[in-house]
Structure 1
Amino acid sequence: MYRFLVTPRWLGFHLLVLAIIPAFFFLGKWQYGRFEARSAASTQITANLKEPAVSLESVDTVGGTVPKAMRYRPVTVTGRYDPAHEVVVRRRTQNSRVGFYVVTPLVTSQGAVLVNRGWVPAGATADAHPRVPAPPGGEVTVTGRLRPAESEDDTGIRNRGGLPPGQVLLIDTGEIGKSLPYQLFGGFVELTDQEPQAGPAPDPVPRPDVGGGGGLNLAYAVQWWIFIGVGVGGWAMLIRREARDLRKAGQESPAKASV
Structure 2
Amino acid sequence: MIKQALTPRWLGFLALVLALVTAFVMLSAWQLNASISNRVYADPDKDRVRAYTEVMKANAPLIARESDTVVKATGSYVPGSSYLVANHYDGDQRGYWVVSQFVPEDGQQVELATSSATRSIAVARAWVATADDVPADPVGKITVAGRVVPNEAPVRSNSLEGEGERVLGSVATAYLSNLWQVPLYSSILTAATEVPQGEELLLTDEGTIVADATIIGAHENVRPVKPHQVEDASFNWLNIFYSLEWIVFAGFALYLWWRMLKDSVEKQEDPAQYFEYDGEYFKDEESGRYYYWDPADQKYYFFDEVPGVTTSTSLGVSNPHYRA
TM more than 0.5: yes
Q: Hey, what's the Cα distance between the residues in 1 that align with 2:148 and 2:230?
A: 15
Q: Hey, what's the Cα distance between the residues in 1 that align with 2:180 and 2:50?
A: 26
- Listed as ranges, the matches of 1:1-259 within 5 Å are 29=31, 33=34, 35-37=36-38, 39=39, 42-43=40-41, 45-50=42-47, 52-109=48-105, 110=107, 111=118, 112-121=120-129, 123=130, 129-151=131-153, 159-163=155-159, 164-196=164-196, 198-200=216-218, 202-208=222-228, 210-211=230-231, 213-217=232-236, 221-222=239-240
TM-score, normalisation: structure 1: 0.61
Higher helix share: 1
Q: CA, structure 1 residues 58+34, in 2 after alignment: closer, same or farther (shift >3 Å)?
A: same
Superimposed CA distance per residue, residues 74-129 of structure 1 (whole angstroms, 9 cap, x where no aligned partner): 111111112411111111122222211111111124231011123211x4xxxxx3
Q: CA, structure 1 residues 215+182, in 2 after alignment: closer, same or farther (shift >3 Å)?
A: closer
Q: Secondary structure at the match of 1:115?
A: strand
Residue 200 (structure 1) shift: 2.9
Superimposed CA distance per residue, residues 199-258 of structure 1 (whole angstroms, 9 cap, x where no aligned partner): 3353223342544x33343x665467669999xxxxxxxxxxxxxxxxxxxxxxxxxxxx
Q: CA, structure 1 residues 200+208, in 2 after alignment: closer, same or farther (shift >3 Å)?
A: closer
Residue 185 (structure 1) shift: 1.7
In structure 2, the gaps of 5 or more residues are 1-26, 108-117, 197-214, 249-324
Residue 188 (structure 1) shift: 1.5
Q: CA, structure 1 residues 93+59, in 2 after alignment: closer, same or farther (shift >3 Å)?
A: closer
Report the count of equivalent residues. Answer: 190
Residue 48 (structure 1) shift: 4.3
Q: Hey, what's the Cα distance between the residues in 2 that align with 1:215 and 1:80?
A: 41
Letter in 1 for 2:52: L
Q: Secondary structure at the match of 1:176?
A: helix
Superimposed CA distance per residue, residues 5-51 of structure 1 (whole angstroms, 9 cap, x where no aligned partner): xxxxxxxxxxxxxxxxxxxx99x94x9635311x2xx23x524423x
Residue 72 (structure 1) shift: 1.2
CA contact (8 A) 1:101 1:118 kept: yes
TM-score, normalisation: structure 2: 0.50
Q: CA, structure 1 residues 108+187, in 2 after alignment: closer, same or farther (shift >3 Å)?
A: same
CA contact (8 A) 1:149 1:187 kept: yes
Letter in 2 for 1:180: W
Q: Hey, what's the Cα distance between the residues in 1 that align with 2:193 and 2:103?
A: 17
Name which structure has the greater RCO, CA cutoff 8 Å, separation 6+: 1
Superimposed CA distance per residue, residues 166-198 of structure 1 (whole angstroms, 9 cap, x where no aligned partner): 111221111111111322122111112211251
Q: Hey, what's the Cα distance between the residues in 2 that align with 1:34 and 1:150?
A: 26
Q: Secondary structure at the match of 1:215?
A: coil
Q: Hey, what's the Cα distance between the residues in 2 that align with 1:88 and 1:132?
A: 8
Q: CA, structure 1 residues 209+189, in 2 after alignment: closer, same or farther (shift >3 Å)?
A: closer
* Percent identity for Structure 1 against Structure 2: 19
Q: Hey, what's the Cα distance between the residues in 2 that align with 1:228 and 1:192?
A: 48
Q: Hey, what's the Cα distance between the residues in 1 that align with 2:243 and 2:58?
A: 47
Q: CA, structure 1 residues 210+133, in 2 after alignment: closer, same or farther (shift >3 Å)?
A: same
Letter in 2 for 1:195: V
Letter in 2 for 1:35: I
- Deviates further, 64-73 or 137-146: 64-73
In structure 1, the gaps of 5 or more residues are 1-24, 124-128, 153-158, 231-259
Letter in 2 for 1:214: A
